[in-house]
């Protein structure tokens, strides 16, 4: 856990979130600044700064996160969706804790 990381603070319960899923390895919650009618994040409980820092030891976690996308999208009533993983400051990443954005139900920005 990184004490300066907003997602780690959400995981610790010190910052509230609108959680839609949680298990031993990941949490999913709605984005506080949605870019679409439905916009949620899938976040690993393990603090990994970005996709760039992942290696073979993260393979199961990454697979789990990706396979959750359609399940959670369907639970939100989405027939189709977009996914996005920003990586690094130059890639648009703002929170340096790996996460997948899931958008649906309307415009999803860029």
CATH T-level assignment (fold) for domain 6-104 = HIT family, subunit A (3.30.428)
The answer to whether the beta carbons of residues 21 and 70 sit under 8 Å apart is no
pTM score above 0.85: yes
Instruction: Please give the span between the terminal C-alpha atoms of the chain, in angstroms, as a whole number.
Output: 30
Locate the domains of the chain by residue range. Answer: 6-104
Interval 56-87: pLDDT, tens? 999 999 999 999 999 999 999 999 999 999 99
Sheet holding 26-30, edge to edge: 19-22, 26-30, 38-44, 100-104, 82-84
Other Cβ atoms less than 10 A from the Cβ of 43: the count is 24
The answer to whether residue 99 is catalytic is yes
Interval 18-48: pLDDT, tens? 999 999 999 999 999 999 999 999 999 999 9
* Selected catalytic residue, list 39, 97, 99, 101: 99
């Amino acid at each position: 856990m990184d004490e300066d990381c907003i997602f780690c603070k959400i995981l610790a319960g010190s910052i509230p979130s609108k959680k839609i899923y949680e298990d031993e390895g990941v949490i999913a919650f709605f984005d506080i600044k949605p870019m679409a009618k439905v916009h949620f994040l899938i976040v690993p409980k393990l603090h990994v700064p970005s996709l760039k820092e992942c290696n073979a030891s993260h393979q199961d976690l990454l697979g789990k996160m990706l396979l959750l996308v359609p399940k959670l999208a369907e639970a939100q009533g989405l027939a189709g969706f977009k996914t996005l993983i920003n990586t690094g400051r130059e890639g648009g990443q703002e929170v340096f804790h790996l996460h997948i954005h899931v958008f649906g139900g309307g415009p999803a920005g860029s």
